[in-house]
Structure 1
Amino acid sequence: MNAYIFPGQGAQFKGMGLDLYEKYPEAQKLFERANEILGFSITDIMFEGSAEDLKQTKVTQPAIFLHSVILSKIMGDAFKPDMVAGHSLGEISALVANKTLEFEPALKLVAQRADAMQQACEMQSSTMAAVLGLEDELVEAVCADVDGIVVAANYNCPGQLVISGSVDAVEKACEILKERGAKRAMILPVGGAFHSPLMEPARKQLAEAIEATTFNIPICPVYQNVSTFGVTDPEEIKKNLVFQLTAPVKWTQSVQNMIKDGATHFTEVGPGKVLQGLVKKIDRAAEVGSAVV
C-alpha cells in the first residue's frame, strides 16, 4: 500500500517551487491564485527571497503547503494514495491530497493558522528544543518535574523528541536532560512553543476558521498527529485538526500504525527528505522515496 507523507515547517529552501512554476501551466495557475488569496506575492519570496525571508511563519507555512499540494496535483494519475499523513502543518497538505479539503479553503486555513500561531508566539517568550538519545518516557518525566510550561511536542522517531514551552522551562529541562544522558538537548531556531499549551490562543482562533470550512469525505484515511490512527470521518478530522496546535505531533506512532495497516512504501511530497529519514529510523524495512513529476 502506498502512503504519502507531507512535511511541515523547517523544510523550506530558497527557490522552492520555481521548477514547478516554470514547467507546468497548472502549477503556475495555482501559484498565481495563491498570490491573490494571500494578498502578497508569495512566489517572489519562494523563488527569490532569502532564507531569512522564508523563515517568517506567515511565509513558511503557506510556502511549504503550496509546494507539497501543487506537486501532488501535477503528478496526475501517478498520485494514488492508499493513506496519507502530514507532520504538523503538513497535515493540511495531506487533507487536500485525500480530497477532504479543496485547495483554496485549505490555503486560507493555512494562512489563518500561521497568523494565529504568530500572534500566540508574540504573547509570551517561548521556544522549542530537540532532545536526542533518550527514551520518550524519561523526557516526559523530566518535563513534568520542571517548574513552568514545558511538554513533549514532537515524537519524531525513537530517540528523537522535541520539547516545547516557556524559554526558562525549556532551558532548565535541557540542562537536566543532558545530565540524564541526552546526546544532545539543543534549543531550536523557532518562533515559539508550537504544540504546547502556549498555543491555546491560536487554537481558539483556528477552531472558528475550521468550523466555517467545508470538510468532505476523503478518498483514503488520514493518520492524524493527534489520534495516530487512520481517520475518514470529516467531523473527527476537524476535531483532531483543532487540537493539533496544543497537542504533540505523534509522528512515530502514526508511522507505526500506517505500517501496521499495510503501508509498504512512503512517498514524501514536498520540499526536503526529512520525513523519509524519520520513517527509516522508525522502521528500517520501510521503503521510502520522494515524489517525482
Structure 2
Amino acid sequence: MTTQVAFLFPGQGSQNVGMGADVFATSDAAKRVFNTFDETLGFSLSNLCFQGPEDTLRSTINAQPAIVAVSLAYLAAFQEALSPQNSSWTTPLAPSYTAGHSVGECTAMVAAGAIDIKGVAHLVRERGRLMHEEEEICPGGMAAIIGMNAELLQQVCEDATQQCLQQLAQSGQQHPGMGHVVLANYNAPGQIVISGEQQALDTACALAKQRGAKRVIRLSVSGAFHSPVMQPAAARLADSIAATQIQNASYPIISNITALPTTNTSDIRSELSQQIAESVQWTRTIEYLAAQGVTTFFEIGPGQALAGMIKRTIKDADIINIGSVDEIEQAVAKVKEL
C-alpha cells in the first residue's frame, strides 16, 4: 500500500457505555486486549466499558484506561481482519505516523511500538488517578469556544486570569492552578477549548460571549485538563513514567505539545509527563501530517470527534473510522481498494 496513512486515537470524552462490546464478541485479538487490561489492572475494566454504570465510566480514573483499551481492541481487530494469521498493531497495515488526542497519545505510543500493553494499562490508570486527585483539590473544567480566533481568546484568558488572581490575592491559596484559565486544545480552526480553575473558567466564558464568540459549550469533563491545574499531577506522573519500560518508537508519534514527530525514548518520557498540563496542538498536528503527504486518516476508537476536527482543518481529507464491527468491515474493504 503506497498511500501515506496515519493512525489517530481519541481522548477523554469519547467514552460511552457499551463501547467495545461488539468487537469483544467477534474478535479474538480484541478479546485478548480486554483480558490483558482486566488482568493487569485487577478488575473488570471490560465490564465497565460494556455495562457501565455511566457515572463510573466517566470518572477520569476509569475513562482514560477504558478509552485506551477500547481503541487498542479495535486496532487489533482491524489488523486481524486484514490478516487473521499474521497480525499485530502494525501488521499488515503499517502507519506512516501515529498520533492521539490527549490520553489518545498513550494509545498511539503502543501502536508505534514504544510501550507494551501492560505498561500502558498501568500508566493510564495512574495518569487518570493523579488527574482525578487534582480535580478534587482544585475544581475546574473545560469549555469549547466556537468562532473566536486564538489571539482574541488568548486575551480573554489573560484578562480572566488577572481578574481572578487579584480576587484571590488575599485568600492565601497556594495551588498553582488557582485563578488560572488557558487555551488548552487547539482542535480545529475556529474551535478552541479553554481550561482552568472553576472561577477563572466561568469568568473567561462570560468574557468570550461578551467579545463575540459564536458559541460557548461547557464540556462534560470533571477537571481542568491541559492547564496549570494539572502541574502537580504532571510532576508526580513523572515518577510512574520513569518506572515504565519505554523504548524508541518504530513509527513516528506526533507530539501533542510540539506537533512534530518523535521516536526517541527520552522525548517520549518527557512528552508523557508534561502533556497533561500543556496545550494539545491538534490543528498543527493535522496540518503537519497533511504537509508530509498523509492522505488517509484512520480514527481508531470510540466516537468520531477527531473526524470532525480533521474535516474542519483539511477539507479534502480521506477519513476512515474504526469504532464498531461494521466500520472494521468497511475499513478492510477500503484498504483493499487502496
Q: Do both share a fold (TM > 0.5)?
A: yes
Moved more, 42-51 or 63-72: 42-51
Partner of 1:234: 265
Q: C-alpha distance in 2, partners of 1:230/1:204? A: 23
Shift of 1:79: 3.2
Match of 1:135 among 137, 149, 154: 149
Q: C-alpha distance in 1, partners of 2:150/2:20? A: 36
Match of 1:165 among 183, 188, 196: 196
Matched position secondary structure for 1:245: helix
Q: C-alpha distance in 2, partners of 1:189/1:230? A: 30
Equivalent residues in 2 for 1:147-162, closer than 5 Å: 147=162, 148-162=179-193
Matched position secondary structure for 1:201: helix
Match of 1:47 among 46, 50, 60: 50
Deviations 1:129-177 (A, max 9, x none): 1110000111011101223200000100011111111111111111111
Match of 1:110 among 124, 129, 154: 124
Q: Which amino acid aligns with 1:189?
A: S
Tell me, yes or no, if the aligned pair for 2:36 and 2:117 is still in contact at 8 Å. no
Q: How many residues align?
A: 293
Equivalent residues in 2 for 1:175-254, closer than 5 Å: 175-254=206-285
Shift of 1:195: 0.4
Match of 2:15 among 2, 7, 12: 12
Partner of 2:66: 63
Q: C-alpha distance in 2, partners of 1:208/1:19? A: 36
Matched position secondary structure for 2:74: helix
Note the aligned Cα RMSD (angstroms).
Answer: 1.2
Partner of 2:136: 122
Shift of 1:274: 0.8
What is the percentage of aligned positions where both structures have the same residue?
38
Moved more, 49-58 or 105-114: 49-58
Shift of 1:78: 4.0
Q: Which amino acid aligns with 2:204?
A: A
Change in 2 beyond 3 A, CA 1:221/1:133: same
Matched position secondary structure for 1:151: strand
Q: C-alpha distance in 2, partners of 1:275/1:105? A: 25
Tell me, yes or no, if the aligned pair for 2:33 and 2:72 is still in contact at 8 Å. no
Matched position secondary structure for 2:109: helix
Tell me, yes or no, if the aligned pair for 1:72 and 1:79 is still in contact at 8 Å. no
Moved more, 154-163 or 210-219: 210-219
TM-score, normalising length from structure 2? 0.84
Q: Which amino acid aligns with 1:156?
A: N
